[in-house]
Structure 1
Amino acid sequence: MKLKFLFSLLLFTIPAFLFAANLSSFTGTVTDAKTHQPLPGATVTLSQLRISTVADVNGHFTFNTLPSRGRYVIEVRFIGYQDMVQTVDLSANATLDFALVPSIVETHEVVITGTPIASNNKYNSTSATVVNKDQLQNGATNLIDALAKQVPGVSQITTGPGISKPVIRGVGYNRIVTVNDGIKQQGQQWGDEHGIEIDQNQADRVEVLRGAASLLYGSDAIGGVINVLEPLAPAPGQLKGEVLSSYSTNNGLTNSSAMLTGNENGFVWRGRGSYQNAYNFKTPDGYYINSGYNNTSLSGMLGLNKQWGYSHLNFEYFKNNIGFNDADPGDPLYTNDKSRTLDFPRQDIRHYKLALNNNFIIGSGSLKLDLGYQKNQRRELDEPTPALFFDLNTYSLDAKYYLAETNGWQPVFGVSSSEEHSVNKGTEYLIPAYDRTSAGAFAYIKKTWNQNTFNAGLRFDYVKNNGKQLILEDEEQFAGFKNTFNSFTGALGYTHVFNDVFSFKANAGTAFRAPNPAELGSNGVHEGTTRYEIGNANLNPERSYQADATLEFGHNIVTGSLGIYENYIHNYIYASGAKGDQITVPAEDPDGSPETFDVYRYGQVNANLYGVEGNLNIHPTTFIHLDNSFGYTHAQNTSLDRALPLIPAGVIHNTLRLEPKVKGLENFYVYVGVDNFFKQYRIDPTFETPTNAYTLLNAGAGATLHIGTQQLKLYVSGYNLTNKRYYDALNRLRPGRFSQEDPTYGVLNPGRNITFGVYLPFNIK
């Protein structure tokens, strides 16, 4: 019935505006500020209206299907020039010209859309980093792997190259919200070996928001937000697309994707298909048994961009098959087999999503309405019949009304709700079937004056969990639980731009996270982690108190930032094991042998996390760039006076990038990088072991060729070129995490990996 309701709402909203005529147009030119020559190929973007265009040979651009009123942030970009970000009032401007200033460095002039009000990052108090398409194509094995290598403060919990869970400033799991197509991604984020189920190729750019974001996204956004943005629709009459492909030597990963998008007088559409396939990944000791994977993704969009705003229907299908090794201590871990055929045990994951994104111009304001439906199916198989089979259906609504700006004041009001319904369809059970209802409302205001901005917000959230009782063969598997949680949260932010070189931003606020059904009701063997997990129905919600401050600076030679943060979390929840705490489970097969598993129990403590992050980029000439970034998190379990588990080690990334002019090649570059990871000795001694410091050597090169007027981008990137033997602190398969019975039993991180890639973007008028 709920799915029928969403489709009915779709059929009601789109035709109501379908025949809107009287389309507003906006034109202009992009030129060099010094020579006044046109800059053909400059990109002009209106992110809030989800549309972009490219300047022609005369530097001229046109948007034809825009609202006739409203204030929107416009972004103009061209390689070798400073980005320009400006707010445009469509009711007052029909023509606007942009003169870009040549620059050898990137600036902080970039639009952030994942905050309550889209704005220039320079005037946005949230600590945010944008990673674009070119940066994502760096030989990473998945989207989170790419971000962890690019963004200070971001790490990843890994189960081999195929599974990465994001960690921001030391917190992860359900404390990080991933947003795609304007909808919070809802899968099985609670699991150690559960990824985010998003095609890494579909991102045109990714915004990483560090720090609490509960004000906008509600429960689960204690640590931050990863906002995945797909390619914007082109200008009317244009058709554009891309084809990309890559091959990685470590696990034979082949990655291919094709996308096409167009705009016919405001009717916009997009389609994409992707496929990845990998065999066992290789460590310096050999290929880890049954660690291959493959995934298939199909996605698309149909919509309208008209004078009344826009309405886009996005749909996506993602299927992922991942192999696992359930070896016991003493069994072999490595093989020479490169077969792409997955053995049992393995995971079969399927994610379906519909998202209806709308932005309606109403009076002098606008209403942004996002409706979503997601089905997540996770099968964990020891044989063709699934042992564990979670089937989760999620319905969501998010609405925000933006009032017109008055004297620098910009108010926003919003409501959100979601309903989750999860059932078990397998032969084994880990978490109970459950229903979960969430609802929230917020008010936010932003004030801009001179070179200052101030923002404040207040939110109320309500979460209701209903775990279902289950009795099997006269024994209670799940007792069932019913609980409700609610909380007020608030946030304050301030920015000040001193001059063209220095700017400052600071934030303070509270955040809230309700316990999830896995933490409340688990009672069974988790096949993917080879352990027995027990929940706690009496858990209290987490409450976070956070503050951070960042100084950003940028000149023609030196740019960078330095930030500090503290995050005190009351009732921090995690699962921990103790040596000797084990349980023996009878075999399902009458002829089989019982199995013994380590027991992990969910509990909670008070935790304090603080740290530092930043970057320093030096550009002595137009073709020499020395980029450096660093991050360190200190996390203390204040209840038990010991370190908090699963905290990333401190890291310093250093990269020397050369961009000499080479005849016949465009945007040629070559780089050498060194990643220095510190020793992580601050561990939970009950079930973790320390990791040593290590250094990785990386290098790569790339260039753009021209075949007539068509661009062809080629690149090669190498990671861990010395084939270093090491364990990362967040490697789930490292010693002590894989088996308490034998703490020396573990799997090394991947060894040398070289990726060869090709990227073909194209535009058709």
Structure 2
Amino acid sequence: MKLKLLYCFLFVFIQFSAFAADIIDIKGKVVDAKTNEPLIGATVSIPDLHLAASTNVNGEFTFKSVPPRGRFVVQVQYLSYKSLTQTVDLSSNAPLVFALQPSIIESHEVVITGTPITAGSRYNSTSASVVTKEQLQGSSTNLIDALAKQVPGFSQITTSQAISKPVIRGLSYNRVVTLNDGVKQQGQQWGDEHGIEMDQFSAGRVEVLRGAASLQYGSDALGGVINVIDPPTPVQGNIQGEFLTNYSTNNGLTNTSVMLSGNQDGFVWRGRGSYQNAYSYNTPAGRYINSGFNQTNVSGMLGVNKSWGYSHLNFSYFKNNIGFYDAEPGDPLYYNSTDRTIDYPRQDIRHYKIALNNNFLFGNSSSLKLDLGYQKNQRRELEETPVPNLFFNLDTYSLDAKYYLPESNGWHPVVGLSSSLGHSVNLGEELLIPAYDEFSTGAFIYLKKMWGQNTFSAGARFDYVKNKGKAQNDDEGNPIFQGFDNNFSNVSGALGYTYVFNDNFNFKANAGSAFRAPNPAELGSNGVHEGTTRYEIGDADLSPERSYQADATLEYGSGMITGSIGVYENYIHNFIYASNNNNEQTTVEDEETGELRSFDTYRYGQVNANLYGFEGNLTLHPVSFIHLENTFSYTHAQNTTFDRPLALIPAGVLHNTLRFEPKIKGLNDFYFYAGIDNYFKQNRVDETFETPAQGYTLLNAGVGATFNIGKQPFKLYVSGTNLTNKAYYDALSRLRPGRYSQEDPNYGVYNMGRNITFGVYIPFGTSK
């Protein structure tokens, strides 16, 4: 009821405030720093206001309906020029003139918004990568799959082709936080076969923050954060849209997405619809049975941009139907059908979300960012009929507030508060975890100071988490779930430092602590987890995980060389994991057939763990149109309690790509690339339920260009992956040998074979 009252108050406040103050227009110009010639088509953006504009034939741009007060980070980008990031005081009457330096290198200077204070990456101690909208297009089957191909230190745990779970520096599941519309995604991310319920085409860009981020996001952010950011709204008076579609030969995957967005007198809106459909994917041995999927996404935004800031109401609906193959060792794994009908067993995943994002600006240069969210996540598993055998419903209400105090003596202070309330119920016959209620709240303070070439930051946070699982008996009065009632609290802290040696060279480092409260599955599981074919038993007496981490990164970019190298270490006390001890098994009787089935029994326990490694990238530019791009990463993870490796750790990987971007008359943005992905052997496995994974090499290539028919651009591209049709098992595939059954270590399903994707992207709109 309190949350409902708060929503009503905010809507009334927004409507009142929309007429409470005047607005101003901000004008400026972008020029070449050497020749002072105007740059046509440069992109100027203000991330904290969700605004972007392009320069006209005179290099000029205009932002209308802009707040007349406050200091904001502005980013200016233009092809073949160094990106420029600058803090601008919008209350000043001085003309805005941005002079860009020509450069053939890709600049490290990008804006990062997922940290407490928006800043350019050089002045932000967090190790972060930004993936653009263009990079998310291609042959990927979901958002996480797209990111795994772009970001060093980032990988994925996969189940078939439709489900990918993010892994950052060896940590996954509840140890990675995903944000969208400023709201932490709550979709039962603790499960092995649960993906991220998000439309990959809806993102304007994605920030991947590597390293512990509990200071701002509380429990779960031990490994890092995926911050999915919506596209900026058009400038006042304009309408923008896009249409994209592609087709992949391996699995018949068709992707289609349409978006339209507008801004009229400060009233902003956006709508998008996306659809994906794929049949069973092909491996060098045949098509994996019933591995097709289809996905429907609808999202929209209504809001206002006024002198007091902005308020945007976002809503989305996600529906994913995923086929599974319930095979036993010895059963056939492949067939040659391209039927798009999804057979049983299958999943029916639905996710509904409403988010109210606000940024209120005050006259004393302070501001309040307030994000309110409601999510409904429904997971249905259907074995033989449309009636779900397992039906799990989770409702989550959330609040996240950050108040930015006025700058004082160079110090930028921020205080924050976040809370969430989750309520789940079991609606199906099969049970794995008890119905539960989860409440969490936390508060933090953060300080940042810049002097000269130095930036220092520090913060502290207190968190409280309460989990209550409900006891439940079967029809005969026998206990199914014992229930649990746990309270966890934690104090964490973080320190950060950056030093900019010059325009080409900078250093950043972090140290701090983080924590993760046990999730309800770890506390209360008692049943067969069909996705992993094992019987899981939780432990209500588990303690929170506590992490102590440090990392450091060097970045360089000048002339013919761009690169970075980072090292990290993360010691986790009371690391939670499930294991099978002494070959324990549990026999379960099927209620319909009376058949007895035996499952390996996995019990949740705790150990101490240590993870360390390195990651980086190196790009060489012998001439302006040739780029040799290389990324690499390696994680070493040890169960220090039992002196053996941790499970589900990615193998070392080296990506090499040679990219050509010659100037061709009649074509814009032409490119061709050829790449080699080298995945090394993973011998460091938990031998109690894993087998080593062999190394492999994949060959990829692609070509693309933008054509103009009149003034209308059309981007066409073709990309190919695994061009040699290599038969391989990825180390993090849950279908590889030894993952499903130790009785038959040869049981396993190959990853996807050769795949060619053909795509088109058409932007359109007005430009006033």
Task: Report the TM-score range of the alignment, normalised by the length of the smaller protein.
Answer: over 0.9
Which residue does 1:398 correspond to in 2?
400
Any idea what the Cα deviations from partners look like across 1:382-418, whole Å, max 9, x if unmatched?
Answer: 1211111110000000000001223321000010000
- CA distance in 2 between partners of 1:247 and 1:520 (Å): 43
Unaligned runs of 5+ in 1: none
Q: Note if contact 1:2-1:395 (Cα within 8 Å) is conserved in structure 2.
A: no
8 Å CA contact retained: 1:70, 1:90: yes
CA offset at residue 595 of structure 1?
A: 2.2
Distance of 2:53 and 2:159 partners within structure 1: 40
Alignment of 1:618-637 (within 5 A): 618-637=620-639
Stretch moving more, 16-25 or 713-722: 16-25
2:564 maps to what in 1?
Answer: 561
Task: Name 2:353's counterpart in structure 1.
Answer: 353
In the TM superposition, residue 302 of structure 1 has moved relative to its aligned partner by 0.4
2:704 matches 1:681: no
The one-letter code matched in structure 2 to 1:653 is H
Equivalent residue number for residue 515 of structure 1: 518
1:250-289 CA distance string (max 9 Å, x none): 1111000000111001100000000000000111111000
Aligned to 1:168: 168
CA distance in 2, matches of 1:713, 1:33: 30
Q: What CA distance in whole angstroms lies between the structure 1 residues aligned with 2:466 and 2:217?
A: 17
The equivalent residue for 1:111 is 111
3-state secondary structure, aligned to 2:146: helix
What is the aligned partner in structure 2 of residue 437 from structure 1?
439
Mapping of 1:88-487 within 5 angstroms?
Answer: 88-93=88-93, 95-364=95-364, 365-382=366-383, 383-473=385-475, 474-487=477-490
Aligned residues: CA RMSD: 1.1
SS for the counterpart of 1:108 is coil
Residue 585 of structure 1 aligns with which residue? 588
One-letter identity of the residue aligned with 2:569: E
Q: 1:692 is aligned with what amino acid?
A: Q
Letter in 2 for 1:276: Q
Contact residue 462 and residue 487 of structure 1 kept, 8 A:
yes
Q: CA deviation at 1:94?
A: 5.0
What is the match of residue 17 of structure 2? 17
1: CA distance, partners of 2:316 / 2:534: 33
Helix, strand or coil at the partner of 2:349: strand
Aligned-pair identity (%): 69
Rounded to whole Å, the distance in 2 between the matches of 1:644 and 1:368 is 39
Residue aligned with 2:15, SS: helix
Mean Cα deviation higher: 253-262 or 93-102: 93-102
Contact 1:6 1:371 survives alignment (8 Å): no
1:491 match: 494
The whole-number CA distance in structure 2 between the counterparts of 1:502 and 1:51 is 30
CA distance in 2, matches of 1:305, 1:578: 58
Structure 1 residues 128, 202: closer, same or farther in 2, change over 3 A? same
Distance 2:738 2:528 in 1: 18
Quote the Cα distance in structure 2 between the aligned partners of 1:385 and 1:86: 57
| Rounded Cα–Cα distance in structure 2 between residues aligned with 1:574 and 1:760 | 46
Shift of 1:7: 4.1
Q: Which runs of 5+ in 2 are unaligned?
A: none
Q: For residues 740 and 93 of structure 1, what CA distance do their matches in structure 2 show?
A: 71
Q: Does 1:541 align with 2:537?
A: no
Q: Structure 2 CA distance, aligned partners of 1:142 and 1:482?
A: 36
Which secondary structure does the structure 2 equivalent of 1:671 belong to?
strand
SS at match of 1:621: coil
- 1:450-478 Cα offsets, whole Å, 9 max, x none, are 01100000000000000000001211000
Which position in structure 2 is the counterpart of 1:662? Answer: 664
- More deviation, 52-61/542-551: 52-61
Q: Give the match for residue 715 of structure 1.
A: 717
Cα distance between partner residues in 1 of 2:138 and 2:569: 31
Quick check: 1:243–1:258 contact (8 Å CA) kept in 2?
yes
Deviations 1:572-613 (A, max 9, x none): 111223573222211121x44222222222111100000010
Contact 1:26 1:94 in 2 (8 A): no
Contact (CA 8 Å) 1:10, 1:356: kept in 2 or not?
Answer: no
1:762 equivalenced with 2:764 (yes/no): yes
Whether the 8 Å contact between 2:673 and 2:701 is mirrored in structure 1 is yes
Q: State the match for 1:607 in structure 2.
A: 609
- Post-superposition offset of 1:420: 0.2
Instruction: State whether residues 542 and 569 of structure 1, in contact with CA within 8 Å, keep that contact through their aligned partners in structure 2.
Output: yes
Matched position secondary structure for 1:689: coil
Residue deviations 1:102-143 (CA, integer Å, cap 9, x gap):
111111111000000000001100000001011111321111
TM-aligned CA deviation for residue 65 of structure 1: 1.1
Partner of 2:529: 526
Which letter maps to 2:378?
Answer: Q
Tell me if the contact between 2:69 and 2:363 (Cα under 8 Å) persists in the aligned partners: no
- Quote the Cα distance in structure 1 between the aligned partners of 2:46 and 2:584: 57
Report how far residue 2 of structure 1 moved: 6.2
User: By how many angstroms is 1:10 displaced?
Assistant: 4.0
Conserved in 1, the CA contact under 8 Å of 2:432 and 2:525? Answer: yes
Compute the displacement of 1:41 (Å): 1.3
Cα distance in structure 2, aligned partners of 1:236 and 1:262? 8
356-365 vs 162-171, greater mean Cα deviation: 356-365
Whether the aligned pair in 1 keeps the contact of 2:21 and 2:308 (CA below 8 Å) is no
Tell me the SS of whatever aligns to 1:518: helix
1:24–1:67 CA contact under 8 A, matched in 2:
yes
SS in 2 for 1:634: strand
Aligned mate of 1:505, from 489, 505, 508: 508
Rounded to whole Å, the distance in 2 between the matches of 1:664 and 1:399 is 50
Return the offset for 1:91: 1.5
Classify 1:9/1:582 alpha carbon distance in 2 versus 1 (closer, same or farther; 3 Å). farther
Return 402-411 or 283-292, whichever deviates more: 402-411
Contact 1:617 1:628 in 2 (8 A): yes
1:576 and 2:611 matched: no
How far apart in 2 are the matches of 1:253 and 1:532? 34
C-alpha separation in 1, matches of 2:763 and 2:106: 22
CA distance in 2, matches of 1:94, 1:402: 25
Instruction: Tell me, yes or no, if the aligned pair for 2:40 and 2:56 is still in contact at 8 Å.
Output: yes
The 1:296/1:9 distance shift into structure 2, 3 A limit, reads farther
Give the aligned residue type for 1:354.
Answer: I
Distance in 2, Cα, partners of 1:212 & 1:545: 9
Q: Structure 2 counterpart of 1:402, which letter?
A: Y
Residues 42-61 of structure 1: matches in 2 within 5 Å? 42-61=42-61
Matched residue SS, 2:389: strand
Q: Could you tell me whether the CA contact under 8 Å between 2:556 and 2:562 is conserved in 1?
A: yes
Residue identity matched to 1:102: P
Taking the aligned partners of 1:670 and 1:578, their CA distance within structure 2 comes to: 52
Aligned-residue offset at 1:338: 0.9
Whole-Å Cα distance in 1 between the matches of residues 52 and 662 of structure 2? Answer: 30
Q: Tell me the distance in 2 between the aligned counterparts of 1:225 and 1:725.
A: 32
- The equivalent of 2:598 in structure 1 is 596
For the residues of structure 2 that align with 1:300 and 1:558, how far apart are their CA atoms?
Answer: 42
Letter in 2 for 1:394: T
Letter in 2 for 1:606: N
150-159 or 136-145: bigger deviation: 136-145
- How far apart in 1 are the matches of 2:166 and 2:586? 31
Q: What SS does the corresponding residue of 1:757 show, helix, strand or coil? A: strand
**How far, CA to CA, are the matches of 1:545 and 1:500 in structure 2?**
32
CA distance in structure 2 between the partners assigned to 1:694 and 1:267 by the alignment = 52
Give the Å deviation of 1:6. Answer: 5.4
Whole-Å separation in 2 of the counterparts to 1:282 and 1:93: 61
Report the Cα distance in structure 2 between the residues aligned to 1:249 and 1:446, rounded to whole angstroms: 50
Contact 1:254 1:277 (8 Å CA) reproduced? yes
Post-superposition shift, 1:21?
A: 4.0
Residue 5 of structure 1: CA displacement? 3.5
- Report if the CA contact (8 A) 2:322-2:342 is conserved: yes
